Amino acid sequence: MRRRGTECRGRPRRAPHRPRSPARHRRRHDRPRPRRRRRRPAGRSAGGRGRRGRRAARRPARRCRRRRRRRTGGPADRASDAVAALRAVRAVPGTAAVLLTVRSGLEGGALDGGEDAYAALLDALLGSLADLPAADRPDALDVEIARPAAALIARAHALGLDAVASFHDFHGTPADDALRGRLTAMETAGADALKIAVTPADAADVARLLRVTAEASTALTAPVITLSMGDLGLVSRLTGAVFGSALTFATPGDRPSAPGQPPIGLVREARRVLASSR
């Protein structure tokens, strides 16, 4: 008779199987991992960020503020862009006389903000032009007569620039007396050239403008520049010199800056035909 635990056929007898508890069957990846403590970087105190951390946290905010200031498009930024464009034009060999124009939204331009924005931009622009050599400045500056023009014209003259006083009406053609009054006010403000651009409703409006042009060109001392915009007013752009208009505006390509502005080739051909018929 054999005892338990004694050898049997050369092998020890195994102990009876005992099932493990569910906790012992838990897999390794199911066990909760111990939470590691993060080491505090040098320069930080236990109560908050250290000196280096505070400096690093402030730097990105300062950079963002600077970027926002560059994107505001204020008067100084716009004046700087205008001066950069002026220098690029001046760098082209054989450049003709340059008329620098800032057109407000009140008269069909892209500058919003009313009279205050226009005055602020012209003030910043004249300040930037004062820092340029005389050879890099434009030959003339456009000043809208409906804004405070007299002081701006005087500042342009102080820089050696001619001043072209201008008035634009994209909705119609004012009465004859109103047109004469605008031209007289421009000359009284000291402008070197007087420009009016209006929108005709019919051929009669174009004829009225040309008649006022013929009268003003002899009554006033400063050169008069008048034109009717749109397709209906094309004749005023091509034949304005016959009625006393000192010059006209044309586009060198296919992107006119005003309604009805013709290509420069067409204007030159019309001037040649008119000159040969005299």
From the list 17, 29, 168, 171, the catalytic residue is: 168
Whether 171 sits among the annotated catalytic residues: the reply is no
Q: At what angle do helices 203-219 and 176-188 cross, to 10 degrees?
A: 40
Cite the beta strand spans of 148-237 per DSSP E.
Answer: 162-168, 193-198, 224-228
Handedness of CA 250, 256, 261, 262 (dihedral sign): positive
From the list 29, 157, 171, 195, the catalytic residue is: 195
d(CA 92, CA 95): 6
d(CA 258, CA 268): 18
Whether 25 sits among the annotated catalytic residues: the reply is no
b/e sequence 96-122, b meaning 16+ C-beta within 10 Å = eeebbbbbbebbbeebeeeeebbbbbb
Contacts of 135 (CB under 8 A, 6+ apart): 90
d(CA 118, CA 11): 108
Residue type, 43: G
d(CA 163, CA 186): 10
What are the residue numbers of the active site?
168, 195
